[in-house]
Amino acid sequence: MIFESRRRRFLSEMNVIPLVDVVLVLLVIFMVTAPMLYRGMDIRLPTSTTNTIKPEERIVLTIERDQKVYLDKTPVTVTDLEARLRASKQRNADVAVYLRADRDVPYGTVVRVMDGVKRSGIEKLGMVTDAPREEYVKEQEIRPSREGPGR
């Protein structure tokens, strides 16, 4: 007998096509079942003629980089803003305004808009911000000035 001493080479690459197929099937299954998991309880609420909880009206005020002002996606001028906010205040005394301003908008523009909100009689004014990224916080650390205070 003649024995051949052939070495067999094994294919050491993993076949990922079946893995991708399984992952896509699982993705479809979760997409179909996820809306069913978050369904609330079915109850019939009693009715009442007196409502003790009033929904809070929220107005979003946006200032873009080019200083255009929007009141709930409707463009307004700074002079027209006060009248519209006053009308909202008359409809609902507990109206709240959320101010979203681009970081490149001049500070004076933001102050003028905030002043218009306060003159319209609205007391609830909130500033909308994004959470800082970690690398942005490290980059923007506050450094003490070389000059002393008040100089």
- Per-domain residue ranges of the chain: 58-127
Helical pair 107-119 and 78-91, crossing angle rounded to 10 deg: 30
- The pLDDT, as a whole number, for residue 27 is 95
CATH code of the region 58-127: 3.30.420.270
Burial of 61 (0-12, 13-18, 19+ CB in 10 A): buried
- The pLDDT, as a whole number, for residue 48 is 66
Neighbours of 71 (CB within 10 A): 17
Non-local (6+) Cβ contacts of 70 within 8 A are 61, 62, 63, 64, 76
pLDDT by 10-residue block (mean), the chain, 151 residues: 61 83 94 75 66 71 88 87 89 86 88 90 85 62 56 48
Count Cα atoms within 13 angstroms, Cβ side, for 39: 8
